[in-house]
Structure 1
Amino acid sequence: MTTTETVPTGVGDARITWYEAQGRAARLVLALSHGAGGGIEARDLQALAGSLPSAGVTVALVEQPWRVAGKKLAPAPKRLDEGWRDLWPALRAPGLPVVAGGRSAGARVACRTAPELGARAVLALSFPLHPPGRPERSRADELLGAGVPTLVVQGGADPFGRPEEFPGGEHQLVEVPFGDHGFAVPKRAPVTQEDALRVITDGVGAWLADLR
């Protein structure tokens, strides 16, 4: 069952699509925001929204205000963080622990704001460790500063940071073989697109099951 909620923020209206836990009482809310180049239709976000409710996790897919307003370019990080902070009470409304997450730019927002908002954990999908071809411009400090249990799910061929480039730390990492920044895999790869999505849903599901 899904419901959609519009949430006013200081930078415009955001929109949350709720995928309610099924068959058992929900124990967590997993809040996932999109990246700077797409919306909640991203294959990984949709796969998680389709698989996790049966495991007792309510998934909240968050469309950021700039996307709801129909703009093509994401605002500066400070504005993204402001919108996320303002909609956090709506994510807390079910009265459950909230795991903050997102893909790419959305993952950065989740990491930057997790300590102050009291997130239970962070799920970073396709974390943009650095701009393509610019490993010296590392954003590892954002990831390492999350201060809560963190899972990174990263494509093996992601130009924004391959799994082997990530620094050591408290976070865990799941590699999606051959996946690019959108977790697409080449047709010539020895794994299918369905296999890649299963790596994501199985890895995230197991990690969430271990959270207490």
Structure 2
Amino acid sequence: MPETDELPTPRGPARVATDLPAGPPTAVLALGHGAGGDVDAPDLLALRDAAAGAGLVVARVTQPYRVAGRRAPAPAGHLDEAWTAVLAVLRERHPGVPLLVGGRSSGARVACRTARAVGAAGVVALAFPLHPPGRPERSRASELATGLPTLVVNGDRDPFGVPEPGPAVCVVTRPGERHDLRGDPTGTAATVRDWLRDQGWARP
């Protein structure tokens, strides 16, 4: 069972569910949720299981607006502030190992925007929403340009689009999947786990 607690942020309390691996951790992976979703999304749960099984501490972070019971997301700046405050505590709790950030959809965007500021070593972006549905001219590709090793896993039927790979950005497209990545969450999680191993952040 995860350890769950609430942490203060400038935007109200955030909730953190932490799963510890067996043995010394290889890294910490912080994961954020989608705009109207929660940290129990199938892809996040599958990734938690795979990553914790491979030696990582996995912390799933619920943003203050969701803790308060609201579904409409807070402004981007508020999300980033709350996330940054939580990540500062996670770094103190788990010193001496790499900090990895990620999440799905809106949570992936927050992780990308703040990755440098929180001292992350890498980024995991599930269902990164490249643009609003039907609006490819409103690209958010620049948010992925952190310069850090980044894995993007999107479905090939995602109406929010699929980013292009870049110098530090690896993109894996899952056939038949839409934005929720519900078709094969275990397969999605295995893709991330393998990438984490390739980067040296997970046990073989």
Q: Which residue of 2 aligns with 1:188?
A: none
Alignment of 1:1-212 (within 5 A): 1-22=1-22, 24-92=23-91, 93-95=93-95, 96-144=97-145, 146-162=146-162, 165-166=163-164, 168-184=166-182, 193=183, 196-212=184-200
Q: What secondary structure, in the 3-state scheme, does the structure 1 residue paired with 2:129 have?
A: coil
Shift of 1:161: 0.7
CA distance, structure 2, for counterparts of residue 183 and residue 70 of structure 1:
24
Unpaired runs of 5+ residues, structure 2, are none
CA contact (8 A) 1:114 1:147 kept: no
Count of residues in correspondence between the two structures: 198
CA distance, structure 2, for counterparts of residue 169 and residue 36 of structure 1:
28
Deviations 1:33-77 (A, max 9, x none): 001010011110011112221210111111011100111211110
CA contact (8 A) 1:150 1:170 kept: yes
Tell me which amino acid in the other structure corresponds to 2:148: V
Q: Which residue of 2 aligns with 1:187?
A: none
CA distance, structure 2, for counterparts of residue 126 and residue 198 of structure 1:
15
Shift of 1:86: 1.0
CA distance, structure 2, for counterparts of residue 115 and residue 51 of structure 1:
25
CA distance, structure 2, for counterparts of residue 166 and residue 133 of structure 1:
17
Q: Which residue of 2 aligns with 1:189?
A: none
CA distance, structure 1, for counterparts of residue 186 and residue 34 of structure 2:
21
Task: Give the RMSD, CA atoms, in angstroms.
Answer: 1.3
CA distance, structure 1, for counterparts of residue 66 and residue 106 of structure 2:
13
CA distance, structure 2, for counterparts of residue 148 and residue 42 of structure 1:
25
Tell me which amino acid in the other structure corresponds to 2:110: V
CA distance, structure 2, for counterparts of residue 49 and residue 170 of structure 1:
24
CA contact (8 A) 2:130 2:161 kept: yes
Higher helix fraction: Structure 1 or Structure 2?
1
Query: Once superposed, which parts of structure 1, at least 4 consecutive aligned residues long, lie more than 3 Å away?
Result: none
* Cα separation, partners in 2 of 1:151 and 1:119, compared to 1, 3 Å: same
Shift of 1:167: 5.1
Tell me which amino acid in the other structure corresponds to 1:87: V
Deviations 1:146-169 (A, max 9, x none): 22110001011000013xx52543
CA distance, structure 2, for counterparts of residue 200 and residue 153 of structure 1:
7
CA contact (8 A) 2:43 2:186 kept: no
CA contact (8 A) 2:165 2:171 kept: no
What percent of counterpart residues are identical?
47
CA distance, structure 1, for counterparts of residue 36 and residue 60 of structure 2:
16
Which structure would you say has the larger RCO, counting Cα contacts within 8 Å and 6 or more residues apart? 2
Unpaired runs of 5+ residues, structure 1, are 185-192
